[in-house]
Chain A
Amino acid sequence: MSTDTDTDLFSDVDLSWEHLKNRLFLGVIFAASMFGVVMLALLLFDVATDFYVGLTEYNISLVDFFTRDGSRREELSGFRGAIVASIMLMVLVTILSFFVGVGTAIYLEEYAPDNRITRLIEANLANLAGVPSIVYGLLGLAAFVNGIGMGPILLAGAIALALLVMPIIIVSAQEAIRSVPDGVRNGSYATGATKWQTVRRVVLPAAIPGIMTGTILALARAIGETAPLIMVGAIFINRMPYGPFDRFSAMPTTIYNWANEPSQHFIHLAAVGIVVLLAFLFVMNGVAMYIRHKYETEV
């Protein structure tokens, strides 16, 4: 009798259809999440093939690629000037956007009263973060290149990119500052600290890994931006820029330029350039992930 109950205990419960639904749904959402991965893999494969063909069939020498500047003649063209221009842009963008961005975030999170003006600023920031990058290029062209007569120089490009990434830096810094628990702020105030001492000695040190991560990711966006640089006039046979007031063509604009050439050699030069640009992006993202991972256990 007891064996009867053992075998028949759950026989009235039929869950097979429910389990099937579970598996079906799992399959659908897994396929959805793999979509991005597959597309990225295809893209990388395409770039890698072109890169390989460029190196073998068109005899693009990596040494020449890194040591020569741009040229109208495809076999003399290199990427050095573009790399240097991009690095200079990054440095200038960091200087221009980091302090203003983090300062804004500190003000909004720690000091700003909860009133109409603060809400207006925050709403504006959210909107600015969504403005298409070419609009920042137009702004740079109208206000700096032509408006105050800077001309199509590297500094004008840096200003356009700095404006572009500033909202991203502000929002990520705000999140990092907000994630510092109020308990430690109160602990600081109760020890007799002023507001600035609390911000400077407790909040910022705790938030700095998050701020750094956000800033690096913002810079990774800036280094790949093409449209604003085209608008400020970076379509240019690239040579080495000799300072922020020189003309320039950065990595993405040089790639764009090469890809527009009819010659297959130039197109494969572009493929090699894309590999270099992607390498920069991966390194920057890797550094951001490393910083996040290193500090996330501590706070």
Chain B
Amino acid sequence: MSTKDADQSLITTDVQTGSRDRTDRTHETVVKARNLDVYYGDEQAISGVSMDIPEHEVTAIIGPSGCGKSTFLRSINRMNDQIDVCRVEGDLSFHGKNVYDEDVDPVALRRKVGQVFQKPNPFPKSIYDNVAYGLRIQGKADEVDLDDAVERALRGAALWDEVKDKLDSSGLDLSGGQQQRLCIARAIAPDPEVILMDEPTSALDPVAASKIEDLIDELVEEYTVIIVTHNMQQAARISDQTAVFLTGGELVEFDETATIFEDPDDDRVEDYITGKFG
């Protein structure tokens, strides 16, 4: 089919323009899932997912709406605990420790695994206070030079030059793309190990989105990034590894991004990527 060929070539080009080559390096597994099942009440959102997510790489999770990709992401830092009816079975370990063990405090876990949400959600506070928030609540504000830490986080989020003269103005006065980078600054300020991103660019315009994509490329030098996206081109551009979830919360294929987009094993993945369904 001609449309299929066109789609494939488009995505292949994008992989090439992404042109980063970290995949030959071997990295330790930081998040490991084994037969993970997640239920909302009686409904199963994720079934039997097993995957090893390497550190210092960008791992993209793609799939159609309702395939459980966001649920999987929220299982990693136990944000699913906020939902009463949510139940998790199986193993999900962070550096070898099952995060659903009795002795794991989700608050402590979230200090090592930060998250950026789909809709930018800065606090109704000043830009400075937004970024300093994590350090303050984690009791690190006295140990570090707070001004310095805020500047470093804002530079890390590629926002410093735009806001350095108005750190006291409200975070809500920024544009949508700036707000999202502010949220990234807020997430990296307390220096977590892993940053989860749940469709971080879907509420942004293409220019703002491409800034975030460039940023992810830099973030991965210091952090492990796990990003959920429904934009396949984006996954192809920015990720090293790609996991494809399909309806029913099943992980169909997980491999290096180039393999997933050029030569997937599973026919369903090929169909999904070439736009036959999903």
Q: Say if the beta carbon of B177 comes within 8 Å of chain A.
A: no
Q: Are A201 and B121 in contact (CB under 8 A)?
A: no
Asked if B170 contacts A298 (CB within 8 A), the reply is yes
Look across to chain B and name the residue whose beta carbon is closest to the beta carbon of A113.
B84
Is B190 at the interface (CB under 8 A from chain A)? Answer: yes
- Complex CA distance for A197 and B139, rounded to whole angstroms: 11
Asked whether, in the complex, the Cβ of A187 is within 8 Å of the Cβ of B170, the reply is no
Query: In residues 159-216 of chain B, which contact A (Cβ within 8 Å)?
Result: 170, 172, 183, 186-187, 190
Q: How far is the CB of A181 from chain B (nearest CB, A)?
A: 7
Query: Do A183 and B110 contact each other (CB < 8 Å), given the known contacts A188-B133, A191-B186, A192-B137?
Result: no
Q: Which residue of B lies closest to A197 (CB)?
A: B137
Residue numbers in A under 8 Å from B111 (CB-CB): 191-192
Tell me the complex Cα distance, A183–B180, Å.
12
Interface size of A by Cβ–Cβ distance < 8 Å?
A: 21
B272 on the A face (CB < 8 A): no
Q: B114 contacts which chain A residues (CB < 8 A)?
A: 190-192
User: Contact at B134–A192, with CB atoms within 8 Å?
Assistant: yes
Cross-chain contact A193 with B121 (CB below 8 angstroms) = no
Using known A-B contacts A192-B134, A201-B137, determine if residue A186 contacts B121 with beta carbons closer than 8 Å: yes
Are B172 and A298 in contact, CB atoms less than 8 angstroms apart? yes
CB within 8 Å of A: which B77-92 residues:
77, 79, 82, 84
**Size class of B's contact patch?**
20 to 34
At the interface, yes or no: A290 with Cβ under 8 Å from chain B?
no
B77's nearest neighbour on chain A, judged by CB, is A190
Interface positions, chain B 47-79, Cβ under 8 Å from A, are: 77, 79
Nearest-CB distance from B86 to chain A (Å)? 14
Closest residue of A by beta carbon distance from B136: A201
Report the minimal beta-carbon distance from A200 to chain B, rounded to whole angstroms: 9
Q: A189-231: which residues lie under 8 A (CB-CB) from chain B?
A: 189-194, 197, 201-202, 205-206
Q: Which of B107-154 contact A (CB under 8 A)?
A: 107-108, 110-111, 114-115, 117, 119, 121-125, 133-134, 136-138
Interface residues of A (CB under 8 A from B): 113-114, 181, 183-184, 186-194, 197, 201-202, 205-206, 298-299
17 A-B pairs with C-beta separation under 8 A: A186-B117, A187-B122, A189-B82, A190-B79, A190-B110, A190-B117, A190-B187, A191-B111, A191-B114, A191-B133, A191-B137, A192-B107, A193-B133, A201-B137, A205-B124, A298-B170, A298-B172
13 more CB-based (< 8 A) A-B contacts, given A192-B134, A298-B170: A183-B119, A183-B121, A184-B123, A184-B124, A186-B117, A187-B117, A188-B137, A191-B133, A191-B187, A192-B107, A192-B190, A206-B124, A299-B172
